């Protein structure tokens, strides 16, 4: 039995409610280990309670997102920098 995690691709819909740009192609630097990569390549856990994106290098939480009737919460403490590329 696998843990059934997803990729950062799955964040595209939820994060479109927060960001104007396509964020999954943005390069995120992990605040834990410093590794950089597109958010789309992060490992995503926690669905359907919410989305927990983890660094593929060190498994630290990059981002947490959950929708509740009273509002949406986004925690990005695990991302040191987020660089939106000009290609999109």
Partner 1 sequence: MAVFSRAFHGRREQDPALPPGQYLTEDFPVLSAGPTPPVSADDWSFTVTAESGERHAWTWAELMALPAEEPTVDIHCVTRWSKLGTTWRGVSLDVLLEDVDTAADYVLAHSHGGYTTNLPLEDVLDGKAWLAFEFEGEPLEPVHGGPVRLLVPHLYFWKSAKWISGLQLMLDDQPGFWEELGYHNYGDPWREQRYDGD
Partner 2 sequence: MAGTALRRRLGHRRLTARLVETRDETATARTLRFAVPGWPGHLAGQHADVRLTAEDGYTAQRSYSLSAPADGEFVELTVQLVPDGEVSPYLVRDIEVGDEVELLGPLGGWFVWRPEQPGPVLLIGGGSGIAPLRAMLRARSAASPPFRLLYSVRTPSDVYFAGELDSPDVTLLYTREAPDGVERTPHRIDAADLTAYGLPAAEEPTCYVCGPTSFVETVTGLLIDAGHDPARVRAERFGG
Tell me, residue by residue from 42 to 61, as one string, x for binding to partner 1 by CB under 8 A and - for no binding.
-x-xx-xxx-x-x----x-x
Q: Which is nearer to partner 1, 3 or 86 (CB)?
A: 3
Assess contact for 35 and 58: CB atoms under 8 A.
yes
3-state DSSP call for residue 8? helix
Residues 16-45 interacting with partner 1 (rule: CB under 8 A)? 43, 45
| Residue 12 DSSP code | H
Assess contact for 64 and 51: CB atoms under 8 A.
yes
CA–CA distance, 46 with 49 (Å, rounded to integer): 6
Tell me, residue by residue from 9 to 48, as one string, x for binding to partner 2 by CB under 8 A and - for no binding.
xx-xx--xxxxx-x-xx------------x-xx-----x-
84 makes contact, choosing from partner 2, partner 1, none, with CB < 5 to 8 Å by partner type, with: none
């Amino acid at each position: 039995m696998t843990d059934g995690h997803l990729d950062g691709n799955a964040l595209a819909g939820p994060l479109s409610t927060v960001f104007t740009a396509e964020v999954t192609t943005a390069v995120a630097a992990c605040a834990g280990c410093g590794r950089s990569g597109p958010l789309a390549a992060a490992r995503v856990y926690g669905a359907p309670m919410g989305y927990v994106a983890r660094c593929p290098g060190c498994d630290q939480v990059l981002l947490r997102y959950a929708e509740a009737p009273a509002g949406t919460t986004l925690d990005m403490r695990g991302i040191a920098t987020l660089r939106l590329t000009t290609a999109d």
